Amino acid sequence: MSRFLQAGDACIVAQHQPALVLDYARSRELAPRAILAGTGMDDVQAPDAQHAISPTEYLQLLANVATSLKSPETSFMLGQQMLPGHFGALSHALTHAHSLREAIALLVRFQMQLCPLLAPRFREEGGLGVLYWSDSFGAGQQRAFLVELHMTAMSAMCRWLGGARLPWRYCFNRTPPRYTEQHEVHLGGQLRFHCHLDAMLIDAAWLDRPWPRANAMAAAVALRSVDAAHAGASQRSLLCALYDYLLEHIRSAPTLEQCALQFGVSPATLKRHLARHGSHFQAELDQVRAHVALHLFHGGRHDNDAVARHLGFHDANNFRRSFKRWTGMTPMLLRQSLDAYRLQSGDTSAII
């Protein structure tokens, strides 16, 4: 289990994203004591180059700033600063990425450096690119804040590197906020709430369009430096590793005991680790099952029985009840809503 990062591990370099948060807080003249409480840092000016904080402490820093400012724009303003960031060679590689596809690949590959609290995941299907996020360390009530921050960071970076505002569509796994003005200002008007993933969607034709700032040689040199710096380093969180394992083995109905054996711990120990992240095994399994089911239902390629078999259910009725528990609706209602939305708008983002 030691090979996977956990919420209490000091694995986030304070001079990277936390420093940007501190700089924003300082620009808003927030009291240092309120900002730093529970963060493991004692100076709002310039964190030491060797100092690292834990994901729990970074989450606390973000919560402190959000609470102190009491502003709905905080997550969006912080997101504007996050990418490509100030991560040395890695930021250089992002800056000189050839295309959106290459930038997403870097984001996914170097998740712990670029977006440590939420893990970006990408799939391409039916002429659509889907970038969605899963929890890395147990965001809890800060999930919505982090989603807004990450979506804004990605959108702003693409606008700068791509030379234009890309036609992203945004899906939120939450009820809509009372006011959406900040979402519309920073993300645009293509917003959908009550979805089952936190995702950004874009026509696949945009994935490989060359970006004006691209420099293949500069990007390659920067990546060699990054690879050398992180050679042999463990860069996956426990929750991300578990998500990946469940996704790979979802057809065989993985159990807690099987996962614990794979991770080299007892089932009781794995349960304790998940509890420290505010989760439990069934919740993690259900999340992956729901994501896979949504993917399979896209385009009507699979019926209930096929999806149930794929997910290891021997009884379609049991799958139907489980799917309703995961998403709040039955598979039939989901498919009907997808079909109705497509007919009405011709928008394939209804997959979410």
Q: How far is CA 197 from the centre of its chain?
A: 10
For residues 165 and 142, give the distance between their C-alpha atoms in angstroms, rounded to a whole number.
27
Pairing of strands 191-192, 169-171: parallel
* 287 or 125: which leads in pLDDT: 287
- Token digits of residue 29: 């003249």
The residues that bridge with 237 in the sheet, in sequence order, are 5
Backbone angles phi and psi of 213, in degrees to 5: -90, 0
User: Which residues is 133 bridged to in the sheet?
Assistant: 120
298-330, pLDDT tens digit by residue?
755 678 888 999 998 888 899 999 999 988 888
What was the pLDDT predicted at 55? 97
With a threshold of 0.85, does the pTM exceed it? Answer: yes
Residue 44: the pLDDT is 67
| pLDDT digit string, tens, across residues 45-90 | 667 767 899 999 999 999 999 999 999 999 999 999 999 998 889 9
Structure tokens at 311: 């997910």
- Tokens at 277, concatenated: 């992240």
Concatenated DSSP letters for 226-261?
A: HHHHTTT----BHHHHHHHHHHHTGGG---HHHHHH
Q: Cα–Cα distance between 62 and 188 in angstroms, integer?
A: 24
pLDDT at 287 over 70: yes
Look at residue 344 and tell me whether its pLDDT is greater than 60.
Answer: no
Residue 161 has pLDDT above 90, yes or no: yes
d(CA 305, CA 291): 17
Asked if residue 343 lies in contact with residue 350, where contact means CB atoms within 8 angstroms, the answer is no
Q: Which burial class, exposed, middle or buried, applies to 305 when counting CB atoms under 10 A from its CB (0-12, 13-18, 19+)?
A: exposed
What average pLDDT does the chain have? 90
Which residues on neighbouring strands pair with residue 52, listed in sequence order?
13
